[in-house]
Structure 1
């Protein structure tokens, strides 16, 4: 269950960041700069080869996220959808 949860969180964060970059109309390099990441690390995140750290997620919320409430509501809905009592 935990692996599936982590996979879903990774997908949610990646999708949110991709949509935000598209909405802002900025390059990978610009988004990497905003998130305080190297361009290489950001490209890996976008490709699904890496996941956001908590620090990167918080920086995203602080510097990039156009609708924090929606982002956090989606994240909490995802969390609520998992039953961890079996773990």
Structure 2
């Protein structure tokens, strides 16, 4: 069982992990205007945002601000 790891208030053990097939299916649906698919893609890629935040850990940037910017970028990329 994976332990609870919390980054920027997000419990990483509860994040969705998408398979490549699921990712492809959701991308196709999102391109057709399916908002539910877009939401699942955003949630499924939050680990990516958190991994980028960890790279900036020692640079003095506020992780919560980076998380917000990362989420906005993710939403724009999927929209």
- Structure 1-normalised TM-score? 0.29
User: Which one has the bigger helix percentage?
Assistant: 1
Q: Which has the higher contact order (CA 8 A, sep 6+)?
A: 1
- Structure 2-normalised TM-score? 0.31
User: Which one has the bigger strand percentage?
Assistant: 2
